[in-house]
Amino acid sequence: MSNTSTRAIGIAGIAAIALFISGCAGEPASTVTTPVEEAPAASNGQVLDLIDQTGHQLRQVPAEGAPEVSLEVTEDAKAGWNVRIETANFTWAPQHASAEAKPGEGHAHLMIDGKKYTRVYSDWFYLPATALTAGEHMVMVSLSANDHTTYAVDGDPVAAQTMVMASGEGDGHTGHSHGS
C-alpha cells in the first residue's frame, strides 16, 4: 500500500470517528460560530431634496465616519490671503470632479459672503487681495462629493466659515481673520 493510500484511509477514519462523536443519537452536529465585528463600511449616503447656498443638493451621510472640515484664512506676506482647509475622513480627488460620487471623496466649494467663488481641489488655496473689498467678509468652505452634492450630517452641510477683515488697500497687507 502506498503512503498516499494509507493517509487517505487514516483521514477517512478520523473523519468517521469525528462524525460519530458529534452525531451520536442521530442528532446533527452543531457548529458554533463566533460573530466577527467588522468596521462599518463607508457610506455613499443619500441625496436629499435639500440644497445648500451654492445650489447643490445635500448628500446625507452617517455622522460616524462623516467628512469633517475646518478653515483658516491668513494674510499672505505679500498680498491676498492664504486659505487652509483641514479635513478628516475625506480624500481630495480632483481627478474625479463631476464624476460618480464615492464615499468620503471629492473637492470643496469656497464661498465669499454667501456666493460661490470657486472650487478647491486641495488643502491650500490662494485668495487674491482683489477678491475681498474693504470691510468684513464671511469666507466659507463646504465639502462636496465628486458629483458636486454637498456632504451633510443630520441635514446640515459639512462646512466651516470664518470672518475676514480686509483693509481695502488692494494689497491685503492689513487685515485679519477669526473663526466662527
Residue 160 contacts residue 67 (beta carbons within 8 Å): no
Query: Is residue 3 in a domain?
Result: no
* pTM tops 0.85, yes or no: no
Query: Is residue 94 in a domain?
Result: yes
Number of structural domains (the chain) is 1
Over the stretch 52-89, which tens digit does the pLDDT of each residue have?
Answer: 888 899 999 999 999 999 999 999 999 999 999 999 99
Query: Is residue 28 in a domain?
Result: no
Query: Is residue 25 in a domain?
Result: no
Name the burial class of residue 160, with classes exposed (0-12), middle (13-18) and buried (19+) by CB atoms within 10 angstroms of its CB.
buried
Q: How far, CA to CA in Å, does 13 sit from each of 8, 17, 18?
A: 9, 6, 9
Query: Grid coordinates in use for 1?
Result: 500500500
* Whole-number average pLDDT of the chain: 80
Query: Is residue 112 in a domain?
Result: yes
CATH number at residue 71: 2.60.40
Range of the domain at 72: 47-179
Query: Is residue 52 in a domain?
Result: yes
Query: Is residue 139 in a domain?
Result: yes
Over the stretch 2-31, which tens digit does the pLDDT of each residue have?
Answer: 444 433 444 444 444 343 334 444 444 443
Query: Is residue 55 in a domain?
Result: yes
